[in-house]
Amino acid sequence: MAFDPLAFHERAVKTPSHESSDAMRDLVVEALCEQGVEPTVDDAGNTLAEKSGAASGPHLVLNTHLDTVPPHVPFRREGDVVYGRGACDAKGPLAALVAAFLAAEPDRGRLTLALTPDEETTSAGAAALELDGDGYIVGEPTGLDVCTAAKGRFEGTITIHGTNAHAADPEAGVNAVAAGEDVLSAVRSFDRQRGPDTHAVLGGPTLTPTVVRGGSAVNQIPDRCTITVDRRSVPPETAAGFETALNDHLTERTDADCAFSLTDRDTPFLEAFATPEDCDLVAALMAAGNGEVGPFTAATEASYFAPAPTVVFGPGVLTDEEGAVAHADREYVRRPAIERAATIVQSALGSLLGSPS
Protein backbone atom coordinates (compact mmCIF):
# COMPACT_ATOMS: atom_id res chain seq x y z
CA MET A 1 0.00 0.00 0.00
CA ALA A 2 1.36 3.42 -0.97
CA PHE A 3 2.21 5.85 1.82
CA ASP A 4 -0.61 8.31 2.49
CA PRO A 5 0.86 11.46 4.08
CA LEU A 6 -2.55 12.81 5.10
CA ALA A 7 -3.58 9.62 6.88
CA PHE A 8 -0.17 9.51 8.55
CA HIS A 9 -0.51 13.15 9.59
CA GLU A 10 -3.91 12.48 11.14
CA ARG A 11 -2.49 9.63 13.19
CA ALA A 12 0.48 11.79 14.19
CA VAL A 13 -1.65 14.69 15.46
CA LYS A 14 -3.75 12.23 17.43
CA THR A 15 -0.57 10.92 19.09
CA PRO A 16 0.44 13.02 22.14
CA SER A 17 4.13 13.94 22.10
CA HIS A 18 4.35 16.84 24.55
CA GLU A 19 5.79 14.77 27.40
CA SER A 20 7.60 12.07 25.43
CA SER A 21 8.20 11.49 21.73
CA ASP A 22 8.41 7.71 22.14
CA ALA A 23 4.92 7.07 20.73
CA MET A 24 5.68 9.27 17.74
CA ARG A 25 8.93 7.43 17.16
CA ASP A 26 7.05 4.13 17.19
CA LEU A 27 4.52 5.54 14.72
CA VAL A 28 7.26 6.67 12.31
CA VAL A 29 9.18 3.39 12.60
CA GLU A 30 5.99 1.45 11.88
CA ALA A 31 5.18 3.61 8.85
CA LEU A 32 8.68 3.24 7.40
CA CYS A 33 8.75 -0.52 7.96
CA GLU A 34 5.39 -0.87 6.21
CA GLN A 35 7.04 0.75 3.16
CA GLY A 36 10.02 -1.63 3.21
CA VAL A 37 12.45 0.77 4.91
CA GLU A 38 14.32 -0.44 8.00
CA PRO A 39 15.08 2.60 10.20
CA THR A 40 17.45 2.68 13.15
CA VAL A 41 17.17 4.51 16.47
CA ASP A 42 20.46 5.74 17.90
CA ASP A 43 21.47 6.18 21.53
CA ALA A 44 20.22 9.78 21.53
CA GLY A 45 16.76 8.71 20.36
CA ASN A 46 17.12 9.93 16.77
CA THR A 47 15.23 7.93 14.15
CA LEU A 48 17.35 7.46 11.02
CA ALA A 49 16.78 5.95 7.59
CA GLU A 50 18.85 6.09 4.42
CA LYS A 51 18.70 5.54 0.68
CA SER A 52 21.68 5.48 -1.67
CA GLY A 53 22.20 5.86 -5.38
CA ALA A 54 24.53 3.76 -7.51
CA ALA A 55 26.84 6.66 -8.37
CA SER A 56 28.67 9.17 -6.23
CA GLY A 57 26.87 12.40 -5.46
CA PRO A 58 25.79 14.73 -2.67
CA HIS A 59 24.54 13.60 0.71
CA LEU A 60 21.21 15.30 1.45
CA VAL A 61 19.43 15.18 4.79
CA LEU A 62 15.74 15.62 5.58
CA ASN A 63 15.30 16.60 9.22
CA THR A 64 12.49 17.56 11.56
CA HIS A 65 11.41 16.79 15.12
CA LEU A 66 8.94 14.40 16.71
CA ASP A 67 8.17 16.28 19.94
CA THR A 68 5.74 19.12 20.60
CA VAL A 69 5.25 21.77 23.26
CA PRO A 70 2.64 21.24 25.98
CA PRO A 71 -0.22 21.00 26.47
CA HIS A 72 -1.65 18.41 24.13
CA VAL A 73 -4.44 19.85 21.96
CA PRO A 74 -6.80 17.15 20.60
CA PHE A 75 -7.13 16.43 16.88
CA ARG A 76 -9.97 18.12 15.06
CA ARG A 77 -10.64 18.35 11.32
CA GLU A 78 -12.83 20.86 9.55
CA GLY A 79 -12.79 20.20 5.82
CA ASP A 80 -9.20 20.54 4.61
CA VAL A 81 -7.95 22.08 7.86
CA VAL A 82 -6.49 19.94 10.64
CA TYR A 83 -6.30 21.39 14.16
CA GLY A 84 -4.35 20.01 17.10
CA ARG A 85 -1.01 20.13 18.84
CA GLY A 86 1.77 19.56 16.33
CA ALA A 87 -0.53 20.00 13.33
CA CYS A 88 2.00 22.39 11.82
CA ASP A 89 4.88 22.23 14.33
CA ALA A 90 6.06 19.90 13.14
CA LYS A 91 3.85 16.94 12.22
CA GLY A 92 2.74 18.56 8.96
CA PRO A 93 6.36 19.03 7.83
CA LEU A 94 7.12 15.53 9.15
CA ALA A 95 4.41 13.94 6.98
CA ALA A 96 5.68 15.83 3.93
CA LEU A 97 9.33 14.88 4.48
CA VAL A 98 8.53 11.21 5.14
CA ALA A 99 6.45 11.13 1.95
CA ALA A 100 9.26 12.75 -0.07
CA PHE A 101 11.84 10.36 1.41
CA LEU A 102 9.78 7.28 0.59
CA ALA A 103 9.09 8.50 -2.96
CA ALA A 104 12.74 9.36 -3.68
CA GLU A 105 14.78 7.04 -5.88
CA PRO A 106 18.33 8.45 -5.86
CA ASP A 107 20.43 7.69 -8.90
CA ARG A 108 23.47 9.09 -7.14
CA GLY A 109 24.53 10.26 -3.70
CA ARG A 110 22.71 9.55 -0.45
CA LEU A 111 19.50 10.64 1.20
CA THR A 112 19.07 10.49 4.98
CA LEU A 113 15.90 10.97 6.98
CA ALA A 114 16.88 12.18 10.48
CA LEU A 115 14.10 12.75 13.00
CA THR A 116 15.01 14.20 16.40
CA PRO A 117 13.17 13.57 19.69
CA ASP A 118 13.58 16.80 21.69
CA GLU A 119 13.83 19.94 19.57
CA GLU A 120 11.40 21.84 21.78
CA THR A 121 13.50 21.21 24.91
CA THR A 122 17.18 20.23 24.98
CA SER A 123 18.00 19.45 21.32
CA ALA A 124 20.17 16.62 22.64
CA GLY A 125 19.19 14.45 19.67
CA ALA A 126 20.29 16.94 17.03
CA ALA A 127 23.47 17.73 18.96
CA ALA A 128 24.40 14.04 18.80
CA LEU A 129 23.91 13.71 15.02
CA GLU A 130 27.07 13.22 12.96
CA LEU A 131 25.80 13.15 9.40
CA ASP A 132 28.29 15.19 7.32
CA GLY A 133 25.53 16.19 4.94
CA ASP A 134 26.12 18.36 1.89
CA GLY A 135 22.68 19.93 2.29
CA TYR A 136 19.83 19.90 4.81
CA ILE A 137 16.09 20.50 4.52
CA VAL A 138 14.70 21.15 7.98
CA GLY A 139 10.94 20.75 8.33
CA GLU A 140 9.16 23.63 10.07
CA PRO A 141 6.04 25.67 9.24
CA THR A 142 7.24 28.28 6.72
CA GLY A 143 4.14 28.70 4.56
CA LEU A 144 6.07 26.85 1.82
CA ASP A 145 8.67 29.64 1.70
CA VAL A 146 12.32 28.60 1.45
CA CYS A 147 13.94 30.04 4.56
CA THR A 148 17.69 30.37 4.21
CA ALA A 149 18.56 32.04 7.49
CA ALA A 150 17.50 32.31 11.11
CA LYS A 151 18.64 34.21 14.15
CA GLY A 152 20.32 32.36 16.98
CA ARG A 153 19.07 32.32 20.55
CA PHE A 154 21.31 32.68 23.59
CA GLU A 155 20.43 33.41 27.19
CA GLY A 156 22.38 34.27 30.30
CA THR A 157 22.43 36.28 33.49
CA ILE A 158 24.17 39.44 34.63
CA THR A 159 24.97 39.17 38.33
CA ILE A 160 25.45 42.45 40.23
CA HIS A 161 27.21 42.36 43.60
CA GLY A 162 26.75 44.91 46.39
CA THR A 163 27.04 45.12 50.18
CA ASN A 164 24.25 44.63 52.70
CA ALA A 165 23.38 47.47 55.06
CA HIS A 166 20.40 48.79 56.99
CA ALA A 167 18.00 50.71 54.76
CA ALA A 168 18.01 53.51 57.35
CA ASP A 169 21.66 54.13 56.47
CA PRO A 170 21.86 53.33 52.74
CA GLU A 171 25.29 54.95 52.30
CA ALA A 172 26.79 52.27 54.53
CA GLY A 173 26.18 49.64 51.87
CA VAL A 174 26.26 49.16 48.09
CA ASN A 175 22.79 48.75 46.61
CA ALA A 176 22.95 46.02 43.94
CA VAL A 177 19.35 46.69 42.83
CA ALA A 178 20.02 50.40 42.32
CA ALA A 179 23.15 49.54 40.35
CA GLY A 180 20.87 47.67 37.97
CA GLU A 181 19.87 51.02 36.47
CA ASP A 182 23.36 51.56 35.04
CA VAL A 183 23.56 47.92 33.97
CA LEU A 184 20.28 48.13 32.06
CA SER A 185 21.49 51.31 30.38
CA ALA A 186 24.62 49.45 29.27
CA VAL A 187 22.47 46.59 27.94
CA ARG A 188 20.49 49.06 25.85
CA SER A 189 23.66 50.53 24.32
CA PHE A 190 25.42 47.22 23.66
CA ASP A 191 24.39 46.60 20.06
CA ARG A 192 24.88 50.19 19.04
CA GLN A 193 28.45 50.21 20.34
CA ARG A 194 29.64 46.58 20.13
CA GLY A 195 27.08 44.39 18.40
CA PRO A 196 27.45 42.84 14.94
CA ASP A 197 26.38 44.78 11.88
CA THR A 198 22.83 44.46 10.60
CA HIS A 199 22.52 41.28 8.55
CA ALA A 200 21.26 41.60 4.97
CA VAL A 201 18.58 38.92 5.46
CA LEU A 202 17.98 38.78 9.22
CA GLY A 203 18.29 42.44 10.12
CA GLY A 204 19.75 43.45 13.46
CA PRO A 205 20.24 41.40 16.63
CA THR A 206 18.21 42.00 19.76
CA LEU A 207 19.23 41.98 23.42
CA THR A 208 16.27 41.99 25.81
CA PRO A 209 16.27 41.95 29.63
CA THR A 210 13.50 39.58 30.66
CA VAL A 211 13.85 38.68 34.36
CA VAL A 212 15.11 40.82 37.28
CA ARG A 213 15.59 39.46 40.80
CA GLY A 214 17.09 41.21 43.81
CA GLY A 215 16.75 41.91 47.48
CA SER A 216 15.30 39.86 50.31
CA ALA A 217 13.96 42.37 52.82
CA VAL A 218 12.28 45.75 52.57
CA ASN A 219 14.52 47.31 55.23
CA GLN A 220 17.84 45.95 53.95
CA ILE A 221 20.18 47.26 51.22
CA PRO A 222 20.40 44.34 48.76
CA ASP A 223 23.83 42.83 48.12
CA ARG A 224 22.83 40.95 44.97
CA CYS A 225 20.72 41.49 41.87
CA THR A 226 20.43 39.38 38.74
CA ILE A 227 19.21 40.39 35.28
CA THR A 228 18.48 37.61 32.80
CA VAL A 229 18.74 38.55 29.14
CA ASP A 230 17.50 36.99 25.91
CA ARG A 231 19.81 37.35 22.89
CA ARG A 232 18.67 36.87 19.29
CA SER A 233 21.89 36.87 17.31
CA VAL A 234 22.87 37.35 13.69
CA PRO A 235 25.98 36.07 11.89
CA PRO A 236 28.86 36.07 12.58
CA GLU A 237 28.22 36.35 16.33
CA THR A 238 28.76 33.20 18.38
CA ALA A 239 27.59 32.48 21.91
CA ALA A 240 31.14 32.62 23.29
CA GLY A 241 31.88 35.82 21.39
CA PHE A 242 28.72 37.44 22.73
CA GLU A 243 29.57 36.50 26.31
CA THR A 244 33.03 38.06 26.02
CA ALA A 245 31.79 41.20 24.26
CA LEU A 246 29.00 41.87 26.76
CA ASN A 247 31.37 41.48 29.71
CA ASP A 248 33.83 43.90 28.10
CA HIS A 249 31.02 46.36 27.49
CA LEU A 250 29.74 46.15 31.07
CA THR A 251 33.26 46.78 32.37
CA GLU A 252 33.63 49.88 30.22
CA ARG A 253 30.13 51.34 30.60
CA THR A 254 29.25 50.78 34.27
CA ASP A 255 30.81 51.21 37.70
CA ALA A 256 28.87 48.23 39.02
CA ASP A 257 30.58 45.08 40.27
CA CYS A 258 28.93 42.80 37.76
CA ALA A 259 29.57 39.96 35.34
CA PHE A 260 27.62 38.16 32.63
CA SER A 261 27.58 34.40 32.11
CA LEU A 262 25.69 32.26 29.63
CA THR A 263 23.17 29.81 31.04
CA ASP A 264 24.67 26.37 31.58
CA ARG A 265 23.27 23.76 29.22
CA ASP A 266 24.31 20.30 28.04
CA THR A 267 23.90 21.11 24.35
CA PRO A 268 25.22 24.01 22.26
CA PHE A 269 23.13 27.14 21.93
CA LEU A 270 21.21 27.52 18.68
CA GLU A 271 23.40 29.98 16.78
CA ALA A 272 22.44 32.08 13.79
CA PHE A 273 22.95 30.69 10.29
CA ALA A 274 22.65 31.99 6.75
CA THR A 275 22.76 29.91 3.58
CA PRO A 276 23.65 31.62 0.28
CA GLU A 277 20.51 32.11 -1.75
CA ASP A 278 22.27 31.06 -4.97
CA CYS A 279 23.25 27.56 -3.75
CA ASP A 280 22.00 24.44 -5.55
CA LEU A 281 19.70 23.39 -2.71
CA VAL A 282 17.81 26.69 -2.69
CA ALA A 283 17.65 26.74 -6.49
CA ALA A 284 16.21 23.21 -6.62
CA LEU A 285 13.48 24.00 -4.10
CA MET A 286 12.56 27.26 -5.81
CA ALA A 287 12.46 25.59 -9.21
CA ALA A 288 9.97 23.09 -7.78
CA GLY A 289 7.50 25.93 -7.42
CA ASN A 290 7.11 27.09 -3.84
CA GLY A 291 6.95 30.55 -2.28
CA GLU A 292 9.56 33.18 -1.50
CA VAL A 293 13.13 33.08 -0.22
CA GLY A 294 13.54 34.73 3.16
CA PRO A 295 14.38 34.27 6.84
CA PHE A 296 12.76 31.99 9.39
CA THR A 297 11.65 33.95 12.45
CA ALA A 298 12.19 31.27 15.12
CA ALA A 299 15.31 29.45 16.31
CA THR A 300 15.62 25.87 15.07
CA GLU A 301 17.99 22.93 15.12
CA ALA A 302 18.95 23.98 11.58
CA SER A 303 21.77 25.93 13.19
CA TYR A 304 23.45 22.64 14.16
CA PHE A 305 23.78 21.69 10.49
CA ALA A 306 25.27 24.92 9.16
CA PRO A 307 27.62 25.94 7.59
CA ALA A 308 26.51 23.21 5.17
CA PRO A 309 23.74 24.60 2.93
CA THR A 310 20.64 24.46 5.13
CA VAL A 311 17.07 25.59 4.51
CA VAL A 312 13.95 25.56 6.65
CA PHE A 313 10.82 24.56 4.76
CA GLY A 314 7.38 23.13 5.29
CA PRO A 315 3.58 23.51 5.34
CA GLY A 316 1.78 25.62 7.90
CA VAL A 317 2.66 28.97 9.43
CA LEU A 318 3.98 30.25 12.75
CA THR A 319 1.45 33.09 12.76
CA ASP A 320 -1.42 34.32 10.62
CA GLU A 321 -3.54 37.45 10.45
CA GLU A 322 -5.34 36.45 13.68
CA GLY A 323 -2.19 35.81 15.73
CA ALA A 324 -0.12 32.85 16.87
CA VAL A 325 -0.63 29.46 15.22
CA ALA A 326 2.32 27.24 16.17
CA HIS A 327 2.47 26.59 19.93
CA ALA A 328 -1.04 28.08 20.28
CA ASP A 329 -4.34 26.38 21.16
CA ARG A 330 -5.56 27.13 17.61
CA GLU A 331 -2.62 25.39 15.91
CA TYR A 332 -3.60 24.14 12.48
CA VAL A 333 -2.36 23.19 9.01
CA ARG A 334 -4.09 22.90 5.64
CA ARG A 335 -4.00 19.41 4.20
CA PRO A 336 -3.29 20.52 0.59
CA ALA A 337 -0.19 22.33 1.88
CA ILE A 338 1.17 19.04 3.26
CA GLU A 339 0.73 17.36 -0.12
CA ARG A 340 2.25 20.35 -1.91
CA ALA A 341 5.26 20.37 0.41
CA ALA A 342 5.87 16.67 -0.23
CA THR A 343 5.70 17.21 -4.01
CA ILE A 344 8.11 20.16 -3.86
CA VAL A 345 10.70 18.30 -1.76
CA GLN A 346 10.38 15.19 -3.92
CA SER A 347 10.97 17.27 -7.06
CA ALA A 348 13.99 19.00 -5.54
CA LEU A 349 15.49 15.68 -4.48
CA GLY A 350 14.98 14.34 -8.00
CA SER A 351 16.94 17.20 -9.50
CA LEU A 352 19.74 16.99 -6.94
CA LEU A 353 20.10 13.21 -6.70
CA GLY A 354 19.02 12.23 -10.23
CA SER A 355 21.28 11.28 -13.09
CA PRO A 356 23.34 14.24 -14.35
CA SER A 357 21.86 15.64 -17.55
Q: So which residues are the catalytic ones?
A: 67, 119
Helices (H), 59-175: 91-103, 124-128
Four-point Cα dihedral 215, 217, 219, 223, nearest 10? -30
Q: Estimate to the nearest angstrom the gap between the alpha carbon of 143 and the chain centroid.
A: 16
Taking CA atoms, 133 is separated from 59, 219, 305, 318, 352, in Å, by: 5, 60, 8, 27, 13
Whole-number Cα distances in Å, 326 to 1, 138, 193, 318, 336: 32, 16, 35, 5, 18
Among residues 17, 11, 8, 126, which one has the least CA distance to residue 67?
A: 17
Single-letter residue type at 39: P
Q: Strand, coil or helix: what is 165?
A: strand
Q: Nearest CA to 63 among 44, 79, 42, 49?
A: 49
Half-sphere exposure of 340 (CA within 13 A, CB side): 17
Q: How many residues does the chain have?
A: 357
177, containing H or E segment: helix 176-193
| Phi-psi label, residue 45: left if phi above 0, alpha if psi -120 to 50, beta otherwise | left
What's the rounded Cα separation, in Å, for the pair 37 and 27?
Answer: 13
CA dihedral 155, 301, 316, 313 (to 10 degrees): 130
Closest listed residue to residue 226, CA positions, set 271, 269, 276, 260:
260
Q: Output Rg (C-alpha) for the chain, integer angstroms.
A: 23
